[in-house]
Structure 1
Amino acid sequence: MYRQILVARVLWRESPSDPLRVLQLNTVTYGTASAPFRASRCLMKLAEDEAAETPSAARVLQEDFYMDDALSGADTIDDAVDIQQQLQKLRSKEECREKQMSIPEYGANEAIKLLGLLWDPRNDIFFITNPFRQQATNDNVTKRSIFSEISKLFDPIGIIAPVIVTAKLLVQQLWKAKLEWDESVNIECLHQWKELKTELPLLTHINVPRCVTFDNVVSFSLHGFADASSVAYGAYIYLRNEFADGSAKLRLLSSKSKVAPLHELSIPRKELCAALLLTRLLQRVIPALQMEMREIVLWSGSTIVLAWMRKPLDQLQQFVRNRIAEIRKFTAECQWNYIRSQSNPADIVTRGQLPEALSQNYLWWNGPKFLEGPDYPVDEIAHVPDQLLPELTVVVATSTLNIEPLSFLHKHNNFRKLQRIMSYIIRFVDNCRQKNPLDRRKSNHHTVIELRRSTDAIFKILQHIHLSDEIQRVLSNQPCKRIGNLRPVYNEGLLRVGGRLDHSTLPFASKHQIILPDKDPITKAFIRTMHDELPCRPNRTYQCHSAAILANPQLYSLLPNKSDRYYTAYGEPAKITCSSVPTICSNWCRICRSILDKGRSTTSEIN
């Protein structure tokens, strides 16, 4: 083909000092990177320029050329002759100087070789030639000799895909054995090769009808199948001819197979690769057919793959997500169904089959029998629960709680009043949840449990307002920035001080004090309340100072009354001063003065 194209020009000079000369080659040069493009581009340009004068030939040039071979057809002999004459007219154009194409006379009975197949015009069937030489029994079987024979198998549309898979698996084993090219193969590979080589001549017994349609067909549909095994995966497409009485006949169109990679892939992943292979094969078959399809139905033998297709992409891991996205993109209008392995013709591809068995395999050549009926059954896709579905992303639910400060919280300076207001709110919520009116609490007095619940609720609100980032870090096991030295823990909705006291015999509230923000007015109101209720008397001196203890965790051991419940106020050094806690102690005892002068955060006991 390259020797027929008159388009190549070259800039040339003998030395840098010579002027440039423009030379034109008579043909496209073999071996140059642009040669295939130039040859094909010439044909495309010729088709574009002459489309108005020779439309049929232009269509053949654009759609039915493979390298330098034209493979086309027509519904009638007159149309075929017209295409032949138009092609001859195009070939005579000045862009090409190829020899005039000659076509056998009508009714020629000689077999014609077409892309690795032979076409018998009399019976209108394809059959496969025998390109294999008879090897002497004393010849040394090496990797080179096996590869040389296997490379002669050429099956562009996948008619003998199971045989090709068998040969591919043998090639993969030879590569895994890491043999030299002229090194004798091992016993296992030699046995497999002899078995395959003995049956390869039987490929000539396989014949396939060229025409995939029938007379009196009312509609067409495409059915594609995908399956995978531990060693290979494949896809297969049939054309379903549907008749007026509801019956149907299937004809093989194309198949594609791939050997599983050497690195280990799970069976669900291989099944997914098979579904993707079917999708890509379908993208090539539909434009080539140029037929109107009533429906396109795709079948997979994996319930896991079908479950992945129904999942949101953000819930799938990257390997699965990328392939499911491509499958959804190109099969959005197709219907995916489940099929069992015994009825799936693609299962034959995944396991490989020798020529003699393949020639007699009804399922391979005619498709599943249940599709020949008017209303074929469809198995219900089994539901796969998420806990059994692999390749799902681990979703970490981190709730970001944005709490707006309640209006009443900062309207009162008295912490006890805030405590009672919050207690009424919690009681109201509890009463609303009680279906029986007799179980609702209506007393004007607050119990100790209610007051403690209201206090915890106030502290939870404060923590989510000021320490929400620290809470998220603790929940996700990340180091805290502001209160890392306190080793915080999250328990029952409250952020508490951690540390080595966890192994002591102290009460839980004494070992893990609640952490409060130092800058909030409610914290300061709490400190003032604790000092007012715990005056400095001789027998309660240290209880006064428990409300103004330093934020330094090393000073927690100074608290003598460790059986009480303490709250730790968090703040940077020198943030809380004496002026922030006025009239804490009327006598300004030595301990209060020394603690407040250092400007640290506080802990206290409550009822």
Structure 2
Amino acid sequence: MRTLHQLSDDERMHYPKACRAIKEDFYVDDVLTGGDTIKEAQTLQQDLIKVLQKRGFKLRKWAANHDSLLESIPVSDREANLPLSINKEDHIKTLGLRWHLARDCFFFKVTLEEISGTVFTKRQLLSEVAKLFDPMGWLQPCIVVGKIMMQQLWLQHRTWDEPITEELDAKWRKFRSQLPVLQEITIPRWLHCSDTVNIQVHGFCDASEAAYAAVIYVRIEERDGSTTVQLITSKSKVAPLKVQSIPRLELCSAALLCDLMSTTLEAHGWKDVIPYYWTDSMIVLQWLQSPAAKWKVFIANRWWNGPDWLKEHQDKWPKSRFICNKAVTNLEVRQKAACFTTIKAEEKENLTQQFSSFTKLSDELRQTQTALIRMIQREAFADDISLPNTNKPLAKTSSLIRLTPFLDSDQILRVGGRIQQSAANFDTKHPILLPRGHMANLVIKHYHHQMLHGPAQLVHSTIRTKYWIIDGLTAVKQFGRKCTHCFRMNGKPSQQLMGILPQERVRPGKPFARIGIDYAGPITIKWSNGRGTKTTQAYIVVFVCQSTKAVHLELASDLTAKTYIIFIHTD
């Protein structure tokens, strides 16, 4: 395809229409194109042949819906050796569809195997559903029935070759017996778009509990005043296994219609055609007209000729009777929770101006933090916090009994201990007691990042300079295991299992009866002492006893096989 596109770019100045057909009307190695008149089609045909022959491409298997387009084509280059005169029964297969040449329409061929005595399985059902090839979506009302049956079969968790249930077997046989009727369907190839006054594209979408679909029609207003409506394409999908409400499925069908409409307009080159979208769901219309942020994430994301009124003048089309039922529409409204603090209007300015310095503001923040810690301690240590004031001992079962806690001037519970005489600051000598919980996790997170994701002991000892978290070391280790950065940095490579030792390594024997040999070097040596002695390269031969691990060394002048054999025989 890249070669064809490059050829189109190179020759578009000389053959503009042929190059457009090469770029837009080729599907792999097949080209389907045409013209509004016989003369235009003949010119396009000859231009295509010329352009493609420049790069060595020869067009073959020609087929057309008019005899004159094949007169200049050799019989050997026609599809299935078609005769010069097109028979009323002549047809070809193109892109998986049957094209009737004389009537210029598409139709389908359904081939089914005999099923007498056959027991259907999931494998067979899937195979037969896949045979219903429908690239244009003209058979979607039929094919979606087969898809729904496949979904029902999937929910039964049967194996590929296990017989299906009797109920589903009966449904499938009835559905299968009706498939040959599809051969009676014909779809005109020509959309009557050449000599028109107005072209409109209308899309319809709908949904049920089992599936949802979208279909697109083209509405052509001829110059003689007549109106033609014709099916272009459609698409369907089965409803997801997770149960969804009908309004949600209606919204899925609307989204499917938007995607299908965009693809259709681009494929036909209808850049100036205004599309019309139709749905009978008032809830979907309400959702689409409201801001996306208002809704939950899910929301923020008649067949051949259409209805009879589509052929009428636009004044006779259905008028939208838009009535908003808030009770139903608001089912998908994003719920928001809010916490409000009321401040009198005259106090708003005083709130920021009541501090004369940053130091006083910092004191206010410290007092807020103190109040928060006091509240958490009152909830976690309710049974212990009142005893220090009454000089009563803590219960023997208390988790704080070994910490000798006391209340400071701010009524904060702190650790007692025996280092009051040290030179450390007050927070280090008497850290604030904190229970395990969200507040403790916030403290651990702060110091964990402050210590640059250091080891648990370092983070824990740093926390102890101000806070004493109950079972703090365990809490710090748990936080470290959940930290993504630490997990990546502390990852250990997997260790491969060592192979089983050979027989020679595990059974006793005489020294050097079984050996392993290796070489070391090269090294530089002198063969004799004195002046003028030349140096040469040599290698150390290492003999390792497999049984005792004893080592014997020899000196080799080179790495040749001859030298190696000498050492083997010597030893």
TM-score, normalised to structure 2, is 0.55
Q: Could you tell me which residue of structure 1 aligns to residue 558 of structure 2?
A: none
Choose which of 255, 260, 285 in structure 2 pairs with 1:281: 260
One-letter code aligned to 1:404:
E
How far is the alpha carbon of 1:63 from its aligned partner?
A: 0.7
Is 1:393 aligned to residue 334 of structure 2?
yes
Is 1:377 aligned to residue 318 of structure 2?
yes
Whole-angstrom CA distance in 2 between matches of 1:246 and 1:102: 36
Q: Could you tell me which residue of structure 1 aligns to residue 190 of structure 2?
A: 211
Q: Could you tell me which residue of structure 2 aligns to residue 180 of structure 1?
A: 159
Q: Quick one: structure 1 residues 246 and 406, their matched pair in 2 at CA, closer, same or farther if it must change by over 3 Å?
A: farther
Q: 1:232-272: CA deviations, max 9, x gaps?
A: 11111111223579874321111111111222222222111
- Contact 1:116 1:128 (8 Å CA) reproduced: no
How far is the alpha carbon of 1:113 from its aligned partner?
A: 1.7
Identify which range, 194-203 or 394-403, moves more after superposition. Answer: 394-403
- Contact 1:303 1:381 (8 Å CA) reproduced: yes
- Contact 1:235 1:255 (8 Å CA) reproduced: yes
One-letter code aligned to 1:118:
R
Is 1:220 aligned to residue 205 of structure 2?
no
How far is the alpha carbon of 1:399 from its aligned partner?
A: 5.2
- Contact 1:304 1:389 (8 Å CA) reproduced: no
- Contact 1:307 1:384 (8 Å CA) reproduced: no
- Contact 2:283 2:329 (8 Å CA) reproduced: no
Q: Quick one: structure 1 residues 133 and 387, their matched pair in 2 at CA, closer, same or farther if it must change by over 3 Å?
A: closer
How far is the alpha carbon of 1:486 from its aligned partner?
A: 7.0
Is 1:368 aligned to residue 307 of structure 2?
yes
Q: Quick one: structure 1 residues 314 and 233, their matched pair in 2 at CA, closer, same or farther if it must change by over 3 Å?
A: same
Shift >4 Å, 4+ stretches: 96-101, 243-247, 397-402, 406-410, 466-470, 485-488, 550-554
Q: For structure 2, which runs of at least 5 residues remain unmatched after alignment?
A: 69-84, 356-362, 377-381, 383-408, 414-571
Q: Quick one: structure 1 residues 219 and 192, their matched pair in 2 at CA, closer, same or farther if it must change by over 3 Å?
A: same
Root mean square deviation of aligned Cα:
3.6
How far is the alpha carbon of 1:115 from its aligned partner?
A: 2.1
Whole-angstrom CA distance in 2 between matches of 1:296 and 1:405: 58
Whole-angstrom CA distance in 2 between matches of 1:149 and 1:469: 74
Q: Could you tell me which residue of structure 1 aligns to residue 48 of structure 2?
A: 87
One-letter code aligned to 1:89:
K
- Contact 2:212 2:253 (8 Å CA) reproduced: yes
Aligned residues: 355
Q: Quick one: structure 1 residues 87 and 263, their matched pair in 2 at CA, closer, same or farther if it must change by over 3 Å?
A: same
How far is the alpha carbon of 1:274 from its aligned partner?
A: 0.9
Is 1:59 aligned to residue 20 of structure 2?
yes
- Contact 2:203 2:257 (8 Å CA) reproduced: yes
Whole-angstrom CA distance in 1 between matches of 2:204 and 2:328: 28
Structure 1 residues 139-178: aligned runs within 5 Å: 139-178=118-157
One-letter code aligned to 1:395:
K
Choose which of 88, 93, 97 in structure 2 pairs with 1:113: 93
Whole-angstrom CA distance in 2 between matches of 1:163 and 1:482: 71
Structure 1 residues 33-432: aligned runs within 5 Å: 40-94=1-55, 96-98=56-58, 100=60, 102-103=62-63, 105-106=67-68, 108-109=86-87, 110-130=90-110, 132-213=111-192, 217-242=196-221, 248-291=227-270, 295-321=274-300, 323=301, 363-374=302-313, 375=315, 376-385=317-326, 388-398=329-339, 403-405=348-350
The higher-RCO structure (CA 8 Å, 6+ apart) is 1
- Contact 1:91 1:100 (8 Å CA) reproduced: no
How far is the alpha carbon of 1:97 from its aligned partner?
A: 4.8
Whole-angstrom CA distance in 1 between matches of 2:175 and 2:229: 29
Q: Could you tell me which residue of structure 2 aligns to residue 484 of structure 1?
A: 372
One-letter code aligned to 2:25:
D
How far is the alpha carbon of 1:142 from its aligned partner?
A: 2.1
Q: 1:560-591: CA deviations, max 9, x gaps?
A: xxxxxxxxxxxxxxxxxxxxxxxxxxxxxxxx
Q: Percent identity?
A: 36
Whole-angstrom CA distance in 2 between matches of 1:294 and 1:87: 29
How far is the alpha carbon of 1:390 from its aligned partner?
A: 2.2
How far is the alpha carbon of 1:398 from its aligned partner?
A: 4.7
How far is the alpha carbon of 1:64 from its aligned partner?
A: 0.9
- Contact 2:265 2:271 (8 Å CA) reproduced: no
SS at match of 2:120: coil
How far is the alpha carbon of 1:177 from its aligned partner?
A: 2.2
SS at match of 1:112: strand
How far is the alpha carbon of 1:78 from its aligned partner?
A: 1.6
- Contact 1:220 1:292 (8 Å CA) reproduced: no
Structure 1 residues 22-33: aligned runs within 5 Å: none
Whole-angstrom CA distance in 1 between matches of 2:291 and 2:352: 41
- Contact 1:248 1:371 (8 Å CA) reproduced: no
